[in-house]
Amino acid sequence: METTAGLTFRDATDADVDTLVALVESAYRGDDSRAGWTTEADILEGQRTDPEGVLAVIKSPDSRLLTVERDGRVVACCQLEHRGDHAYFGMFAVSPTLQGGGVGKVVIAEAERLAVETWGVTEMHMTVISVREDLIAWYERRGYRRTGKMTPFPYGDERFGIPQRDDLRFELLVKPLV
């Protein structure tokens, strides 16, 4: 466990699954997500993740699901997955009531540090829904660059939500870490 700016970082356990699903859902879906700026409520309905998806990340030998606490309460999380010379950053969520207060910056910096320390990777990769210009701009301010490489949104697979528009794609963002 490490503490940064009053935050405690640890790897998630099976006991965290329900709490982490609720956190991710609150950050991206439904009316609760509108309290923060990362909401996808206007472009996607339905779920963002489910207990099976979270548990799969926890159990994967090549992944870590960082759980971030403040005062004993889970306030953020992110997935790190080792993929050869780079790590994949995903399932990033900060409690909507804490968004805009610097928690996300601390979490992503710690995730990058841990990816280098744990796996010796030279880059961090992530995918972001391409129409999320505000979110992409936030990542660009953290050193990520748009690659223009797109992958299709999984239309018809409700595990990823129910799209409210027909132009959704994922764009690969990349940041050198060394």
Q: What is the pLDDT of residue 8?
A: 95
Reduced to 3 states (helix: H, G, I; strand: E, B; else coil), residue 11 is: strand
Average pLDDT over residues 101-127: 96
Per-residue pLDDT tens for 115-156? 999 999 999 999 999 999 999 999 999 999 999 999 999 888
What CA–CA distance (Å, rounded) separates 58 from 37? Answer: 27
Lookup: tokens for 143: 């050193």
| Cβ-Cβ contacts under 8 Å for 109 (sequence gap 6 or more) | 142
Longest pairwise C-alpha distance within the chain: 43
Tens digits of residue pLDDT in 145-164: 999 999 999 888 887 788 88
- The answer to pTM > 0.75 is yes
- The pLDDT assigned to 33 comes to 67
CA-based angle 171:173:178, to the nearest 5? 165
CA–CA gap between residue 23 and residue 97 (Å, rounded): 11
SS3 content of the chain, % helix, strand, coil (to 5): 35, 35, 30
Find, among 107, 85, 87, 86, the residue nearest to 95 by Cα. 107
* Rounded Cα–Cα distance for residues 86 and 165 (Å): 32
| Nearest of 137, 145, 138 to residue 175 by alpha carbon | 145
Beta bridge partners of residue 8, listed in sequence order: 3, 69
